[in-house]
């Protein structure tokens, strides 16, 4: 673990992924029976992974008992990251458990998405910034909400897709809840002030590294 911990360096950008691995090994004492994402009851161990976006390498992993809640696995990670000069690209697990407060109090810089119904999102704000990302036009704005910075983006193509899908459903006389002001929008919260374009690119970088996470997780599962 000390070796992996030494791979985390200052000024790095770390992608977080919390997941689990299945195994029927009789020698792995971390395995505990629990439900997977498909509702199957299987022996599993929880795992925390960190991937360096800057260096494109895995830098950290830690296994936990299968019955340990994600809140506890993340708190263990926060303890190891505190006061380091890195940026953690967190996922929705940090939001639902308000673990971002723990990140902030331990001086861990982060960015994370907010659910669209979060009360801090100001949908009425004027999106006066414009940029292009992978040939898609993105409008954006930034503002501060208490001690955090919020960056709101509107993907014009995604807005068209979501709005069109809503009206297709409506034409078929099916009921669906649709908030037109939410269409195509994503809000990202951070405890550091950065260029909105940089924040967006940092968050979207998760998509491109999903395959790397999956390969790494599969290798660990084989070893289990």
Strands (E) in 93-203, as ranges, are 109-114, 129-133, 136-145, 148-155, 185-190
pLDDT at position 222 is 42
Mean pLDDT of 64-71: 60
**107 plus 129 within the same structural domain:** no
- Where does the pLDDT of residue 3 fall: very low under 50, low under 70, confident under 90, or very high at 90 and above? very low
For residues 175 and 64, membership in a common domain is answered with no
The domain that holds 64 is classified in CATH as 3.30.420
Residues 75 and 12 both lie in one domain: yes
Does the pLDDT of residue 102 top 70, yes or no? yes
Number of structural domains found in the chain: 2
Confidence of residue 142 (pLDDT cuts 50, 70, 90): very high
Q: Is residue 80 domain-shared with residue 136, that is, in the same domain?
A: no
Indicate if 207 and 185 belong to the same structural domain.
no
Range of the domain at 127: 115-193
């Amino acid at each position: 673990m000390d070796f992996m911990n030494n791979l985390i360096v200052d000024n790095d950008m770390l992608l977080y992924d919390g997941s689990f691995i299945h195994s029927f090994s009789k020698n792995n004492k971390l395995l505990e029976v629990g439900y997977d994402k498909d509702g199957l009851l299987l022996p599993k161990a929880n795992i925390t992974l960190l991937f360096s976006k800057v260096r494109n390498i895995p830098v950290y992993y830690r296994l936990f008992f299968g019955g340990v809640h994600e809140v506890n696995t993340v708190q263990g990670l926060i303890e190891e990251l505190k006061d380091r000069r890195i940026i953690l690209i967190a996922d929705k697990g940090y939001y639902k458990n308000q673990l971002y407060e723990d990140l902030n109090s331990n001086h861990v810089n982060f960015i994370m998405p907010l659910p669209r119904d979060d009360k801090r999102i100001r949908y009425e704000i004027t999106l006066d910034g414009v940029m292009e990302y992978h040939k898609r036009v993105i409008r954006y704005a930034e503002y501060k909400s208490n001690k955090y910075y919020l960056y709101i983006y509107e993907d014009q193509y995604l807005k068209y897709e979501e709005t069109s899908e809503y009206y297709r459903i409506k034409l078929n006389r099916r009921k669906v809840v649709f908030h037109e002001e939410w269409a195509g929008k994503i809000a990202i919260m951070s405890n550091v002030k950065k260029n909105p374009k940089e924040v967006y690119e940092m968050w979207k970088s998760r998509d491109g590294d999903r395959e790397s996470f999956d390969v790494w997780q599969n290798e660990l599962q084989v070893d289990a």
